[in-house]
Amino acid sequence: MLLLHGAESNSAEVERGKYLVEDVGKCGDCHTPMTDKGPDKSQWLKGAMLPFAPSPHPIPHWKAMSPDITGDGSVFKQRGEEAITKFLETAVWPDGDRADPPMPEYHLKPADARAVVAYLKTLK
């Protein structure tokens, strides 16, 4: 019974993360390649060239491409689950780095940050 309850809790956390990523944060708008018909669902959150740039004045450290944020992507491999969770809570990586523009500085509640990471980990 406890195992089942834990599985149900994990499922609820993943669903919450999916909602936060897809419906609130709209992460796919930048982290998924776009086609003429919208996001390429076969490349969901795998990183993409951004369809916009600052103009007429450049912004320092602007990134033209977003990284792969899926569970087997570069961010998870380089930073790890704990660091990503803290980053989503504080907008600062453990080494003091911040995300480069145009990534917003998110300040999620710890439970929401864990839910986002739980969802991202399910994506391959």
49 vs 66: CA distance, rounded Å: 6
String of b and e for 63-75 (b: at least 16 CB within 10 Å)? eeebbbbbbebeb
Q: Quote the tokens at residue 89.
A: 């809570």
Average pLDDT, the chain: 91
Reported in sequence order, the residue ranges of 37-115 that DSSP labels E, i.e. its strands, are: 38-39, 48-49, 65-66
What secondary structure letter does DSSP report for 67?
P
Residue 55 has a pLDDT of 87
Residue 51 has a pLDDT of 87
Domains and CATH numbers, the chain: 2-122 (1.10.760)
Q: How confident is the model at residue 9 (pLDDT cuts 50, 70, 90)?
A: low
Sign of the CA dihedral with 65 first, then 71, 111, and 40 last: positive
Q: Is the pLDDT of residue 6 over 50?
A: no
Q: Is the pLDDT of residue 1 over 80?
A: no
Question: Quick check: helix, strand or coil at residue 58?
Answer: coil
Q: Quote the tokens at residue 29.
A: 């708008």
| 39-98 tens-digit pLDDT | 999 999 999 999 889 988 989 999 999 999 999 999 999 999 999 999 999 999 999 999
Q: Is the pLDDT of residue 116 over 90?
A: yes
Which of 62, 61, 73, 78 has its CA nearest to residue 32?
73
Model pTM score = 0.88
